[in-house]
Amino acid sequence: MNLRIVFFIPLLFLSSCIVSKKKFDDVLAQKVRAEGELADRTSQLEKANAAIADLNTNLGKLREDTTALNESYRATSKKLAALNKEYDQLNTYYKNLLNNSGKLSRDLEQQKDQLIAIQSNLENTRKLNDSLSTSLVERERKVKELEQILANKDKAVKDLKDRITNALLNFKENDLTVKVKNGKVYVSLAEQLLFGSGSIEVDSKGVMALQQLARAIKDQHDIQIMIEGHTDNVPISKKSQYMQDNWDLSVMRATSITKILTAAGVSAKQITAAGKGEFSPLAANDNAQNKQKNRRTEIIITPNLDELFKILGTN
């Protein structure tokens, strides 16, 4: 534009002499317009440059802001990823807690039921223990009472045995023995003291022994007396309508002794006569000596145990 003006002015002067005033005015007007346009364009250029500068400044700032935003975005994205991971973990933990909570609730309910059952059992056990404690005290009392009764019984049996022994001191040991067995007094009388062979009649010596025994026990109303007849295995030689074998012989001998004792004052209610024949020997019936041992009469005296049985029955 400037170059055009520079070349245009000399040309204007060169042609001034030959151009008309109208043309000159036109040219001058064009010049003025050109200068005005030049000023406008210059102003616009300056504004444009200023705007460009502003734009460049803004662009730099935008670039800085973009860089900062990118960094912030990357940091935020990283934090978001970490938060998502933490969320997933917490969500998983929460779900596990829900599952575990349900299981814990069921376990708690079950344990509660078990606790109630244990408490119930404990209460029942306590009541049972109290009952057992009371029962134990009562049992201890009964045991002491039973021990005392047994001690009294043992003493009574011993005293009875001593009384019978003293009453029969004048008889030989091989004729009779007195001993205590299983809480009972056994008076064993040999056959030669009481009977002849196969006989059921008591000899006079035997009658005397039985009378002495009766005097020792007739006042003992708290005893029971069993008369047991025993034989060897030799069959009887003389049979009769009432005596066919050794069993009959043993029973009839026991009956004969019973009658002598009752005649001497022993209560018939206290005596039982029995015969065991050859079936309860003291020794094998294989020689004369053993057979003699087996031919005997046993008088078994038992203390009355009603009081003892009464205590046992209440236990």
Q: Percentage of the chain with pLDDT > 90?
A: 38
Instruction: Quote the mean pLDDT of the chain.
Output: 85
Q: What is the mean pLDDT of residues 202-215?
A: 94
What are the φ/ψ torsions at residue 262 (nearest 5 degrees)? -70, -35
CB atoms under 10 Å from CB of 284, counted, come to: 10
Task: Using the predicted structure, report yes or no on whether residue 230 has a pLDDT greater than 80.
Answer: yes
Cα 45 to chain centroid distance, Å, stands at: 107
Q: What is the mean pLDDT of residues 12-39?
A: 76
Give residue 16's pLDDT band: very low, low, confident or very high (50, 70, 90): low
SS3 274: strand
Lowest average pLDDT, out of 31-35, 112-116, 304-308, goes to 304-308
Residue 187 buriedness (CB in 10 A; 0-12 / 13-18 / 19+): buried
Lowest average pLDDT, out of 48-57, 111-120, 167-176, 189-198, goes to 48-57
Q: What angle do CA 17, 22, 25 make, to 5 degrees?
A: 90
Distance between CA atoms of residues 53 and 182, nearest Å: 138
Domains and CATH numbers, the chain: 148-313 (3.30.1330.60)
Q: Which of 27, 29, 30, 31 shows the shortest CA–CA distance to 19?
A: 27
pLDDT at 309: 56
* Type of residue at 236: I
Q: Percentage of the chain with pLDDT > 70?
A: 90
Distance between CA atoms of residues 210 and 41, nearest Å: 176
Beta carbons of 227 and 249 less than 8 angstroms apart = no
Distance between CA atoms of residues 74 and 62, nearest Å: 18
Task: Using the predicted structure, report yes or no on whether residue 297 has a pLDDT greater than 80.
Answer: yes
pLDDT at 19: 57
If one compares 233 and 26, the residue with the highest pLDDT of the two is: 233
Give residue 30's pLDDT band: very low, low, confident or very high (50, 70, 90): confident
| DSSP character string of 232-258 | -SSPPSS--SS--SHHHHHHHHHHHHH
pLDDT at 152: 82
pLDDT tens digit sequence for 36-77? 888 888 888 888 788 788 778 877 887 887 888 788 788 888
pLDDT at 213: 95
Residue 195 buriedness (CB in 10 A; 0-12 / 13-18 / 19+): buried
Distance between CA atoms of residues 103 and 85, nearest Å: 27
pLDDT at 170: 86
Tokens of 25: 């005015």
Give residue 263's pLDDT band: very low, low, confident or very high (50, 70, 90): very high
Q: What is the mean pLDDT of residues 179-203?
A: 93
- pTM flag (> 0.95): no
If one compares 156 and 278, the residue with the highest pLDDT of the two is: 278
Beta carbons of 262 and 314 less than 8 angstroms apart = no
SS3 189: strand
Residue with tokens 């935020």: 76
Q: Which of 2, 75, 69, 79 shows the shortest CA–CA distance to 34?
A: 2
Q: Which of 300, 18, 50 shows the shortest CA–CA distance to 181?
A: 300
pLDDT tens digit sequence for 267-286? 999 999 999 999 999 999 99
Distance between CA atoms of residues 180 and 105, nearest Å: 74
Give residue 90's pLDDT band: very low, low, confident or very high (50, 70, 90): confident
Task: Using the predicted structure, report yes or no on whether residue 153 has a pLDDT greater than 70.
Answer: yes
pLDDT at 8: 52
Give residue 247's pLDDT band: very low, low, confident or very high (50, 70, 90): very high
pLDDT at 262: 97
